[in-house]
C-alpha cells in the first residue's frame, strides 16, 4: 500500500493497524512513557493516545512544572463533531497541566481544502470557538487566532518556503494542488508560532492531533531543524486513534452524514443515527446472551470510550455486561442516547454564554 494513502491529512482513508504505523513512520509508542504522565486523562488511560513524536521533552516540562506550549486548532468547515471533540479534550487537558495555550482557526486551510471563502467561515469559527470554551478552554490564558489574520504565521510560511522543494512536499503529501502545499506551509507557521520571541522564545511545544496529521508534524520538525537562527525546539506531537464511522463505514466523513453527528445537531437526528449505528452485537438476542457482545468492534462502545463515559469504573461495567451477554444492544443504545443528549444539552447551555466572547476574540 502507498504509505501516503494511510497518512493523509486531507483524506478519509481507513487506518487499521496502529502498530504498523508506529513501525513504518518511526512514531514512538506512547505506552513507554505513559507510566510517567501525571494525572493522565481518559484518552491516555485508554490508549486512544497511542503514539508520539518527541514528547519526552514536553513530559519532562509537565513533571517539573516548567514552561511548555500546546497548540491545536480547527478547520472552520462545519460544527464541532466527534473527531474534533477528541482534540478538544486534549488541548483543554494540556492547558490544565500548565501549557501556554494556542488555538488556531485554520480558515486558510478551509479555503484551500474545502473551497470555503475566508469571510464565509467566520461565523463557523465563532461557533467552533464557543464550543472549545464551553468544553473548558480558559480563553484568558490562551491565544486564539485566525490563520488569515495572523501575519506572523504567514510571514513564517513565506520565509520557510525557501527551505522546501517541490520534491520534499511530494514525498510527504503526494502530488497535490498548490493551494494545499501553501496551507501546509501555513500550518508549519502555526506550529512554530508559539516559539517566537513575541511569545517568550523557544520552548518545548506539543501538538495533539489525530495520527493522519503526522505529515505536517514531520515537515515542521524538519524545517525547525533547518532554520537554526530561531533555535526552535523541534515541536512534539501526540497522536490519537481515529473513530470509525457510526454506520460501519471506515471513517467518519462529512460526505457520509450517517457516519457521525455534530454537537449542533437536532436530537432526533442524533437519536436516529445512534439507533442505526453498527455495533459489536451478535446475530440474535439468544446468541448474544450466550456468547456476549464484542465491544472492541462496536461503535457505541467507542462513543462511550472516546467521549461520553469518563469514569473508568463505569466503562468497565458496561464492558463486562457486554461481554457477559448481560446487556443487549438495543438497551445499550438507549443508554448511549440518554448520555449523549444529556451531555449535548448541558454543553449547549454553557456554549450560549460564550458566543459573544468568541466573536470578540476572533474580531
Contacts to ligand SF4 by CB under 6 A: 279-281, 293-295, 298, 300-301, 322, 327, 329, 332-333
Mapping DSSP onto H, E and C, the string for 114-176 reads HCCCHHHHHHHHHHHHHHHHHCCCCHHHEEEEEHHHCHHHHHHHHHHHHHCCHHHHHHHHCCC
Q: Residue 88 or residue 322: which is nearer to ligand SF4 going by CB?
A: 322
Closest CA to 308 of 246, 256, 249: 246
CB of 290 to ligand SF4, least distance (A): 14
Smaller CB separation from ligand SF4, 42 or 221: 42
Least distance to ligand SF4, CB of residue 337, Å: 11
Cα torsion through 158, 160, 161, 163, rounded to 10? 160
| Cβ atoms 153, 189 nearer than 8 A | yes
Cell representation of residue 135: 468544553
Length of the chain, please?
A: 363
Q: Which three cell numbers stand for residue 67?
A: 514552561
Instruction: Give every CB contact of residue 174 below 8 A, 6+ residues apart in sequence.
Output: 2, 4, 8
| Cβ at position 42, least distance to ligand SF4 in Å | 17
Residue closer to ligand SF4 (CB basis): 122 or 261:
261
Question: Contact at 8 Å (CB) between 52 and 236?
Answer: yes
Pick the closer one to ligand SF4 by CB: 245 or 293. Answer: 293
Kindly state the smallest distance separating residue 27's Cβ from ligand SF4, in Å: 29
Nearer to ligand SF4, 143 or 301 (CB): 301
Residue 64 in contact with residue 96, Cβ under 8 Å? no
**Nearest distance from residue 301's CB to ligand SF4, in Å?**
4
Please, which residue, 182 or 327, has the CB nearer to ligand SF4?
A: 327
> Least separation, in Å, of the C-beta of 288 and ligand SF4?
7
Contact between residue 260 and residue 81 where contact means Cβ atoms under 8 Å apart:
yes
235 contacts 207 by C-beta, under 8 angstroms: yes
| Nearer of residues 239 and 306 to ligand SF4, judged by Cβ | 306
Q: Name the nearest CA neighbour of 110 among 83, 135, 73, 154.
A: 73
Q: How far is CA 155 from the centre of its chain?
A: 26
Minimum separation from the CB atom of position 166 to ligand SF4 (A): 47
How far is residue 306's CA from residue 85's CA, in Å, rounded to a whole number?
Answer: 9
CB of 308 to ligand SF4, least distance (A): 12
Q: Which is nearer to ligand SF4, 59 or 327 (CB)?
A: 327
Amino acid at each position: 500500500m502507498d504509505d501516503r494513502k494511510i497518512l493523509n491529512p486531507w483524506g478519509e482513508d481507513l487506518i487499521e493497524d496502529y502498530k504498523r504505523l508506529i513501525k513504518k513512520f518511526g512514531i514512538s509508542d506512547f505506552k513507554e512513557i505513559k507510566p510517567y504522565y501525571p494525572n493522565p486523562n481518559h484518552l491516555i488511560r485508554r490508549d486512544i493516545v497511542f503514539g508520539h513524536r518527541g514528547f519526552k521533552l514536553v513530559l519532562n516540562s509537565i513533571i517539573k512544572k516548567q514552561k511548555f506550549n500546546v497548540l491545536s486548532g480547527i478547520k472552520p468547515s462545519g460544527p464541532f463533531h466527534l473527531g474534533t471533540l477528541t482534540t478538544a479534550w486534549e488541548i483543554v487537558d494540556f492547558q490544565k497541566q500548565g501549557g501556554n495555550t494556542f488555538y488556531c482557526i485554520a480558515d486558510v486551510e478551509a479555503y484551500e481544502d474545502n473551497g470555503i471563502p475566508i469571510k464565509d467561515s467566520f461565523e463557523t469559527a465563532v461557533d467552533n470557538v464557543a464550543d472549545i470554551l464551553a468544553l473548558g478552554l480558559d480563553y484568558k490564558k490562551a491565544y486564539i487566532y485566525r490563520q488569515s489574520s495572523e501575519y506572523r504565521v504567514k510571514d513564517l510560511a513565506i520565509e520557510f518556503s525557501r527551505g522546501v522543494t517541490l520534491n520534499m512536499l511530494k514525498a510527504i503529501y503526494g502530488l497535490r494542488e498548490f493551494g494545499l502545499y501553501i496551507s501546509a506551509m501555513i500550518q508549519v507557521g502555526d506550529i512554530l508560532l508559539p516559539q517566537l520571541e513575541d511569545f517568550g522564545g523557544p520552548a518545548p511545544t506539543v501538538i495533539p492531533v489525530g495520527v493522519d496529521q503526522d505529515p505536517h508534524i514531520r515537515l515542521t520538525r524538519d524545517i525547525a531543524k533547518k532554520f537554526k537562527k530561531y533555535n526552535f525546539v523541534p515541536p512534539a506531537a501526540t497522536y490519537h486513534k481515529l473513530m470509525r464511522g457510526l454506520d460501519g463505514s471506515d471513517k467518519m466523513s462529512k460526505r457520509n452524514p450517517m457516519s457521525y453527528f455534530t454537537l449542533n445537531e437536532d436530537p432526533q437526528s442524533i437519536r436516529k443515527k445512534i439507533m442505526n449505528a453498527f455495533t459489536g452485537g451478535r446475530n440474535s438476542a439468544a446468541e448474544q446472551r450466550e456468547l456476549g457482545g464484542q465491544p472492541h468492534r462496536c461503535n457505541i462502545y467507542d462513543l462511550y470510550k472516546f467521549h461520553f463515559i469518563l469514569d473508568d469504573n463505569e466503562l468497565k461495567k458496561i464492558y463486562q455486561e457486554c461481554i457477559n451477554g448481560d446487556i443487549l444492544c438495543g438497551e445499550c443504545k438507549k443508554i448511549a442516547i440518554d448520555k449523549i443528549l444529556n451531555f449535548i444539552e448541558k454543553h449547549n447551555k454553557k456554549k450560549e454564554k460564550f458566543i459573544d466572547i468568541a466573536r470578540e476574540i476572533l474580531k
